[in-house]
Structure 1
């Protein structure tokens, strides 16, 4: 483990400069710099002081977390089975418990529509990849075409409908918590 690099990444993820961290820990900026470049060592007490200033502790800092998954292959998509006729939806990434987003690919056959969702927390974003859709928010219709996108707070009743009688519509839909 590269202790200095790990401390630097943690400091930067908290949006702190070396000077700010030094002030919070009553250490010098040059000591923080030397520490991050592995040119000096430190005591456990000093490490604990730095970690407290960074909002963590020894146990968390030294736990070996496995790298988060980055790529999700097409074959890993999870189908959503309880959709209305003519609607196919797929959860694009699994293991979203730690994420604050649920991305879906929604395919609407001609004339198909999603079920109306009631009010809930969070935001929703969509991007029309193919075709046309009507977005309904509290009984107000918004017409979207390929390349258009939408964003709204999910405190409205909402649904999508494909108004076409001939062409399929495909929407990338994100639920954000």
Structure 2
């Protein structure tokens, strides 16, 4: 399930509870912070992230960003 996501300055996704599957993201422009449990990882333009969603997780962007986010299996 691919999603093209735009986060406005200060925006974030809704925290997602642990679930089965895997997630991948690629930052097209701007930068994001990937929150996994109590950890936070900075991901910049042209970089990617990959995670097993076995902890609560979400993405935020203090400055705004556009990214591609892919989840498997699809959640909607």
TM-score (norm 2): 0.91
Which structure dedicates a bigger proportion of its chain to helix? 1
Larger Rg: 1
Residue among 66, 69, 74 paired with 1:173: 69
Q: What per-residue deviation string (whole Å, max 9, x for no partner) do you get for residues 61-91 of structure 1?
A: xxxxxxxxxxxxxxxxxxxxxxxxxxxxxxx
Structure having the higher strand fraction is: 2
1:160 CA drift (Å) = 0.5
Deviation at 1:139, TM superposition (A): 1.8
Aligned residue in 1 for 2:55: 156
Q: 2:62 and 2:9 mapped to 1: Cα distance?
A: 7
Superposition pairs of residues 77-96 of structure 1, within 5 angstroms: none
Other-structure match for 1:103: 2
Q: Shift of residue 154 of structure 1? A: 1.3
TM-score normalised to structure 1 length:
0.40
- Give how far 1:128 is off: 0.3
Structure 1 position 138 matched with structure 2 position 34: no
